Every structure is written in structure tokens, then in C-alpha cells.
Structure 1
């Protein structure tokens, strides 16, 4: 067994901070010794910012050059929390240096890049993990158990929504997130990628899609000069119909301009014996309807997740107290640690994330052709 897993974190924005918190929380929640999961080195765009964030996040060392972090002999795992367009270069450099890689989603800007990254990692024999963290929620782990053991019968329909309002204000300035060169697609990459991963995880592989994309606010003011505008190049809204390998149907939609939705990830799964309903904004609750219940008292049952459910007890011994987003990331880090230190399979890895990228590319193709398109299966199954 490896003596310790030493982390090198690139990027300290929204997700970089979430990852830093998750390392600390995972040690406390799951009893991982502090000398076996070490926050070794942090990289940012310049030395001063890197040193400041290293002090705040509890990393031993800092650098203004991410390439130095990748090459550092004391870094075992490179954790990529940089903008989308940098994922490929950073991951390939880390793999070439023999490092394990933990990357935020989407893995790449397109499927071809994702395939290249996956092939490089597999040839090098390094472990990979991608931050589709919502599936690590104890509530969704329990939902997966209910589906797998047949409590709601065979899934026949999945309806998923992931709406947020972080760009709902048309006066918000133009940024890299609105440019295909740097972000790829818009709400599709940023939000719908989670839905796609979730649908595959809970229902079955997606075999075909029919999609529609829309840019609602085509121009946005430039930062620092509101008299000038930038052309928005990617989607504000994404809608798709999907077909699953098990015969189920589905609809998925995502928006980054949906006023009032803060973390509006929700889904409903209809089965032949019941239904499941989930809302990420109440992430420790699950609604379950069972067709076999007494008709006089039949209805959706509100389940408050507690210590009887997967991974919850590591955080709290009392039901109904609820968990949060950073707790879910801690579960993800626990899985990452065990996968590398104990040589256990990791999921979702680069291969599974590549399947998501394939589907997102097919969504763009479907929209362009105004037609259903078939989806290639890149063997993104659980291992």
C-alpha cells in the first residue's frame, strides 16, 4: 500500500476551493489519516496568488507554474480545477509524468480530445477520476439501490432538469464561458453533462438523441467597457429527447438563464412498479411512490436520508439533519483515495467521462441536422 497520496491542486476558483474543502472533510468523515492524504502543492496563475491560496487551503507548497506542479516528484495526483480548455493539456502532461489525474467535468471540449486523454491514461496505467459529484450523494446512492433491486420495476422514463440562473441577467459581462474555444458548449457542457452522467448511472446507456440548443442572449457587454459587446457563441439552453439501451425514453433539459434556480438539478424516474423523484436543492430527501401500496393511503413517500443510507453516517449520526454539496465532494475524494491507495476501480473515470463527451457532441450534431442521431458506445460502463 502507498504510504501516502500527495495532492497537487491546479486552480483555486469555485471548484478548486470545493476540492480543497473535500480533502479535509474526507479525512475527518472517513477516518483517513492525515499522513496518508496530504495537500502537497497548489498552482495558480501567479506565485503571489498561489502562496495566498496555499495558506488559506492548507497546502504545503505553492507555484505560479502548473507545469512545475505536474513535474514535481512529491506530487502523486494532479487535481485539475482549471477552465475547460486547459483540461486536455494539463491531463496529458500529468499522465506523461506518471501521475494519477482527478479532473473536473467536462473532461474535454469534445469527444476526440476525451478519447485521446483516456487512451493516454490507460496506456500509462494511471488512475483517473472525473468530478461528476452528484452521483456520490448518499440520497442518489440509495436511489440507485432501489432501482437495481427492482423496487420500482423496470425504468421506462427519465425526466431530468438542471437549471441555474448564473447568467440569467442579460447585463452580466462577456467571459470565457461564452466562447467555444475555451468552454466548448454552454449550458450543455456545464450543466447537462451532469444530467447525462446521472441518467446513464441510474437508467442505462443512452443510444440515441434528438436535441435543440438556443442562445437567448446573443450579445453581452465586455467587462470594463459596457459600451462594447461580445458575441455569445454557445448555448444558454439545451433540450434533448433520448433513448436508452434498456428501451426507456427520456427528456433532459438544462439552462443557465433560469431565474430563481440556484442548483436546480432534479429528476423523476418512472418504473413499471413505481416512481422516484429527487431535487438537488433538497439533496437529503427522496420521494418514492410504490404501485403496490394500499390505494386508500397511496402516495409519494418522503424519505429523509439518514445513517441507515449509504455514506451518510460518516457525516452525521442523526437522520433528517441533511448533508451539503461539499459533503458530496468528500465522498468523491474518499472514493478517489481508496481507488488509488488500495488499487480499487474508480468510476466515473476518464472512459466514463468520454462517453458523456460523445453524447454532448451528438447533441450538437442532432441540433445542427434537426434529426435523431445514434450514439457510439465507448465502453463507459462501471468496472
Structure 2
């Protein structure tokens, strides 16, 4: 196909911040239709991006002949249903995380999409952070030796702000675990491989949020993990780290320690790593080399815009490139399934107060 037509289902913040500007940088790609159940949200996205074709029902968008690929950016409970319908219609799928409410649904969703022969992708956006890509390169080439430890922290200050559907179990499946820690679970998978077993705890500190919004999900979660390689993992995420800020500016740190060195990065400084080894007494700041500033093939100018935001656009390039090259997307829905297996195990562990083995998912 000369031009790939994209339809976006769920036209709120993620579509406006990530997907619409991302696809705008992809050659011979056009967002041809938008969908949202909220008329005001739909009107805002349509007006801002000049996209006239709008739909209140996702079924109508999928049925369009000019839509070759869809982005699913809806509440989590809708993801499998929409993805499987898109696959049946021969549309390629880019789905926000977590891809389902539970592991069985995620596995079924990925299997259906795989069997349909479409390209499928999980929106683990932070894989495209230049510092994360460089950090992964250094780990894979053995610069720090076989990793001993992986740790990740995502600390934000949301107070009692109304989080909408994200704090409703039947719509989201999990709270902070799926919303924020799912990305950090994927960090670990990307850097050191799959988790074999874990123990977890979760807490809800605020039962009723602003506007009398009732929450029945976690707003703090921690996981102690053992990776298949023998590496240990400590992952923690909260929306109640007072004074840390929210969104792009809340603390987001990942670190790997090995016998020959330490690597750490934060998404707040996506163009540098902190690196230490036996010859240093403190971590040294190292700029990300030029070849890692932009995802291979992406037309994005790394000097244009705020680097805390713009790396996200490379995700859309990878999706389109995989479609054109008839190859698997990285990350695929299988990566979403792998994260969901960990999340289900974490919920089970918190409920039962014990270590849980994590199902191993195909690569």
C-alpha cells in the first residue's frame, strides 16, 4: 500500500500526546479517522488535527475501507474485544498497555492477532527512550557482566486527584500496577529477561478521590522478583509520593548492577546514562551516542522539541515500519502478554501473601 490509513480508537490524552504527532512524522501514513465515546474529547482531537471522519462507535471505524491499522487507546477492559475484531477485519493493531484485564484474555488476544497474520504491537513507549536503548545495548554486549540486580522506581504525586476509569477494577483490572508498573516490568524484560517467580504487595491509601470518585484498586505496588537468569529485581510504583510531581516529571528511574559495572537512567534525562565501574567512586554522566538518539529509520529530528516527550513518536514509526516490512513489531502483543502474566502473579501474591511462579510466555 502506498499510504497506510490509521484509525485511532480512544482520542484522549495519549492519542493527542503520542500517537497523532507520532504518525504525523511517518512517511506515507495518514490518520484518517478518530473514535471516542465522549463527544467533547472527540471534537477536540478532530479540530486540533483537522481529521473530519469521526465515530462514536469503534465498530464503525474498523469497518472503514480506508483504515489499514488501528490504535486502541480505550479503557483496558475493551482492548481484547476491539483487537480481535480488528484482526478479523485484517487491520493491524497497536494497543495501549496493559493489553487486557488478565493473563488468559491477553493470551487469547495475542493468539487471535497472530493467527490472523496482522502486525501487532504493545505500546511500551519507554522502550524507545534513547537512554533505555543505549542501556540495553550495553547490557546485551556484556559491558557490566551478567546482571546481578535490576530495580525500578516510578514515584508520582497525584494526591486525591480523580483518576476516572483507571481506579475502577471492572474497567482497568489493576491500578498503579497496570497503569505505571507495567512499563517497569517491561523494562526488566527488555534488559535482563523474563521473571521466573515473585512476591508482591499492594495498597490502596485513598478510597474516595476528588469529586466523590470511589477507588477499588491499588495506588501503591511493590514487587520482589527473581529473573530466569538469576538476576534479582525490586520494582516499586506509587501515585502518593508527595512532592514528586506527576506525569512526565515524577521520578522514573531504572538501574542494573553487574560484576563489572552499574547502569542507571531516568526518563527525565532521556539523553544520558549514569555509569559506574570498579575504577570509579561515583557514577559518571555519559551522553547517549548519536546512533541511539533516534530509532533506526525514524525521521524524527532529535534536536526538535522536548526530548522528554519526543522519543515517544518513534514507537509509531516502528509500528508503520513493521507493517511495510511484513515483520513482527517490537514490542509485540506477546510482550504485553508477558507483562500481564507478571501482573496476574503479583495480584495473586498480594492476595495470598506468598511467592508465585510466573507463567513463561513465548518470545
TM-score range relative to shorter protein? over 0.9
Distance in 2 of aligned mates of 1:258 and 1:378? 33
Distance in 2 of aligned mates of 1:174 and 1:354? 25
Aligned equivalent of 2:252: 265
Aligned equivalent of 1:3: 2
Task: Compare 234-243 and 306-315 and name the one that shifted more.
Answer: 306-315
User: Which 5+ residue runs of structure 2 have no aligned equivalent?
Assistant: none
Aligned equivalent of 2:141: 149
Aligned equivalent of 2:283: 300
Following TM superposition, by how much is the alpha carbon of 1:64 offset from its aligned partner in structure 2, in angstroms? 2.3
Task: Please give the TM-score of this superposition, normalised by the length of structure 1.
Answer: 0.87
| The one of 262, 265, 269 aligned to 1:275 | 262
Residues 162 and 255, structure 1, Cα contact 8 Å, conserved in 2: yes
Aligned equivalent of 1:289: 276
User: Which 5+ residue runs of structure 1 have no aligned equivalent?
Assistant: 224-228
Alignment of 1:200 with 2:192, yes or no, is no
Deviations 1:167-216 (A, max 9, x none): x2x3x347322210011110000011000001010011100010000011
* C-alpha distance 49-231 of structure 1, shift in aligned 2 (>3 A): closer
Runs of 4+ in structure 1 deviating by more than 4 angstroms, as ranges, are 46-49, 312-318
| The one of 56, 75, 91 aligned to 1:64 | 56
| The one of 25, 29, 32 aligned to 1:37 | 29
* C-alpha distance 314-97 of structure 1, shift in aligned 2 (>3 A): closer
* C-alpha distance 40-275 of structure 1, shift in aligned 2 (>3 A): same
Q: How many residues align?
A: 356
| The one of 228, 249, 254 aligned to 2:232 | 249
Alignment of 1:238 with 2:237, yes or no, is no
Following TM superposition, by how much is the alpha carbon of 1:90 offset from its aligned partner in structure 2, in angstroms? 1.4
* C-alpha distance 323-219 of structure 1, shift in aligned 2 (>3 A): closer
Distance in 1 of aligned mates of 2:126 and 2:59? 30
Following TM superposition, by how much is the alpha carbon of 1:316 offset from its aligned partner in structure 2, in angstroms? 4.5
Following TM superposition, by how much is the alpha carbon of 1:273 offset from its aligned partner in structure 2, in angstroms? 0.1
Alignment of 1:184 with 2:184, yes or no, is no
Residue 239 of structure 1: SS of its match in structure 2?
Answer: strand
Residues 180 and 234, structure 1, Cα contact 8 Å, conserved in 2: yes
* C-alpha distance 325-65 of structure 1, shift in aligned 2 (>3 A): farther
* C-alpha distance 345-108 of structure 1, shift in aligned 2 (>3 A): same
Following TM superposition, by how much is the alpha carbon of 1:47 offset from its aligned partner in structure 2, in angstroms? 5.9
Alignment of 1:159 with 2:146, yes or no, is no
Aligned equivalent of 2:23: 23
Deviations 1:270-305 (A, max 9, x none): 0110001111122222101122x3xxx653220123
Alignment of 1:361 with 2:344, yes or no, is yes
Residues 293 and 302, structure 2, Cα contact 8 Å, conserved in 1: no
Task: Please give the TM-score of this superposition, normalised by the length of structure 2.
Answer: 0.92
Distance in 2 of aligned mates of 1:338 and 1:203? 26
Following TM superposition, by how much is the alpha carbon of 1:59 offset from its aligned partner in structure 2, in angstroms? 2.7
